[in-house]
Amino acid sequence: MISWNYRRVLVLGAGASCPYGFPMGAALLTRLQEYDESLWQMLADCGFKHCQYVKFIRALSCQEYSSIDEFLIAQEEHREIGKAALASTLIRLERPERLETDSTPSDWYTSFLSTRNWSCDDALSREWNIPFIITFNYDRSLEYATLRYSREVLGRSPGIGRITVERDSLDLVAEAFVIDCMPILHVYGHLGVLPQFDSPGGMYGVRRDYDPTVDVSSIRAAREEIKLIGDAAISMWRVMLAQSAIRCAKRIDFIGFGFHQSNCALLFPPHMCVDPEINLAATAYGESMTRREEMMLTLPENDDDRTAIRSRLLLHKPHVDAKAFVEVEMQA
């Protein structure tokens, strides 16, 4: 059960998963615009017709959209095949080897996890040290990295969380400890719940391992879990959890977050009051000055009843990537 004692919140956008093989919005859109025979075969197995796939590609290529999500919101007739194509494409990119630190020089997951003090048993220290994570991504790369880290690093120490157990049980204890104290909320759904993160009864979705194998059942399961910006099907409990975390936060860090208006409106709705002394920091890796200004403008302005959230944001320079950001801003 989640308690609202998290002083820090970490908000993730597409750029956060980019080092691990997942494309940004524009690149994903380009990939889906190209005819893919293997993708078509999977869609056919799911019951879609070839003419549907061709029409989907043509519609996607003929109009200007910034992301596949934006296209699917506007083009309801292509929504189901589009979700299936999106699910299949992203599932094939869930490759465990890409989360090995030696193969990912810009790996910020390991930097982040290694700077958390998982053994702290002081309540206030833990509130500041371990964040509540809100992600707008569908992939589960952070969950998988967390499981690997808990087993490979934390599982070697019998002092995890001041718990003493037998050596042959350390992996499972470390894994359960990390999962329990660091919630990861996918606002718009995911590609299936990793088995270790599932709860009794499967209330958070269908279980699926972190694996690039694509079949009909995995596509159908992931398609059902994917929600869209502005989609009425977005579970209100996810939105409420995200807003509760933001409302209680003393500090919010944004990594790879595009500051799109609809996402900012979800996090900071007009009726919500946040801490007037809240601190915000964000990456803006590779962004132009114009784009940086646009990012700032999506945050709420001053008014009589709200915090000047926009003025509290520290937007880092374009050369600061996620790994450098974590090493500077998120030291335990």
Q: How far apart are CA 137 and CA 127, in angstroms?
A: 24
CA distances from 185 to 11, 59, 164, 179, 322 (A): 10, 32, 29, 12, 19
Same domain, 143 and 291: yes
Q: Are residues 63 and 175 in the same domain?
A: no
pLDDT of residue 219: 93
Residue 124 has pLDDT above 70, yes or no: no
Same domain, 167 and 112: yes
Whether residues 116 and 153 share a domain: the answer is: yes
Q: Tell me the mean pLDDT in the region 191-217.
A: 75
> Is pLDDT at 169 greater than 90 in this prediction?
no
- Write the Ramachandran bin of 302: left for phi over 0, alpha for psi from -120 to 50, otherwise beta: beta
Residues 109 and 70 in one domain: no
- 41 — pLDDT class (breaks 50, 70, 90): very high
The enclosing H or E element of 11 equals strand 8-12
Asked if residue 47 and residue 182 are part of one domain, the reply reads no
In this prediction, residue 70 carries a pLDDT of: 87
From 47, 72, 91, the end of a domain falls on 91
The answer to whether position 204 is within a domain reads: no
- Residue 155, pLDDT score: 56
Q: Note whether residue 195 is domain-resident.
A: no
Reported as a pLDDT band with limits 50, 70 and 90, residue 133 is very high
* pLDDT for the residue numbered 157: 52
What would you report as the CA-atom Rg of the chain, rounded to the nearest whole angstrom?
20
Which of the pair, 120 or 289, is modelled with greater confidence?
Answer: 289
Global model pTM greater than 0.85: yes
Same domain, 46 and 114: no
- Contact in structure between 322 and 314 (CB atoms under 8 Å): no
Q: Do 225 and 190 touch, CB atoms closer than 8 A?
A: yes
Instruction: Indicate whether 40 and 105 sit together in one domain.
Output: no
Return the structure tokens found at 79.
């929504």
Placement of tokens 């694996």 in the chain: 211
- Does 218 map to a domain? no
If you ran DSSP here, which 8-state letter would residue 253 be given?
E
Distance CA 313, CA 282 (A): 7
CA distance 136 to 12: 6
- Last-in-domain residue among 91, 118, 140: 91
Helix (H, G, I), strand (E, B), or coil: what is residue 329? helix
Work out the pLDDT band at 315, boundaries 50, 70, 90.
confident
Which residue would you say has higher pLDDT here, 141 or 320? 141
- Of the pLDDT bands very low, low, confident and very high (cuts 50, 70, 90), residue 42 is very high
Tell me the residue length of the chain.
Answer: 332
Closest CA to 139 of 93, 106, 101: 93
Over residues 46-100, the pLDDT tens digits come to: 999 999 999 999 999 987 888 898 899 889 999 999 999 999 999 999 999 988 7
| 42 and 138 co-located in one domain | no
Domain annotation covers residue 35: yes
DSSP string, 148-205: HHHHHTGGG-TTGGG----GGGHHHHHHHHHHHHS-EEETT--S-B-GGG--GGGTT-
- Reply yes or no on whether the pLDDT at 164 is more than 50: no
What pLDDT, on the 0 to 100 scale, is given for residue 297? 76
51 in a structural domain: yes
How many independent structural domains does the chain possess?
A: 2
* Phi/psi-derived region of residue 175, left when phi > 0, alpha when psi is between -120 and 50, beta in every other case: alpha
155 with 238, same domain? yes
**Are 75 and 147 in a shared domain?**
no
In the numeric block, the tokens 């989907």 are attached to 56
How would residue 286 be classed by pLDDT, with cut points 50, 70 and 90?
confident
Assigned domain for 104 exists: yes
Q: Let me know if residue 44 belongs to a domain.
A: yes
Q: Does an H or E element contain 264, and which?
A: helix 261-267
Counts for the chain of helices (H) and strands (E), in that order = 15, 6
Element (H, E) at 17: helix 14-17
- pLDDT of residue 102 exceeding 90, the answer is no
pLDDT at 256 over 70: yes
CA-CA distances (angstroms) from residue 310 to 265, 276, 277, 297? 13, 11, 12, 7
Do both 179 and 253 map to the same domain? yes
Q: Does some domain include residue 264?
A: yes
- Mean pLDDT of all residues belonging to the chain: 80
Domain limits for position 145:
1-21+98-190+226-332
Question: DSSP letters along 75-138, please?
Answer: -GGGHHHHHHHHHHHHHTT--GGGGSGGG-TT-HHHHHHHTS-TT---HHHHHHHS-EEEE--S
As a whole number, mean pLDDT of residues 174-196 equals: 77
- Give the end of a domain, one of 67, 91, 115: 91
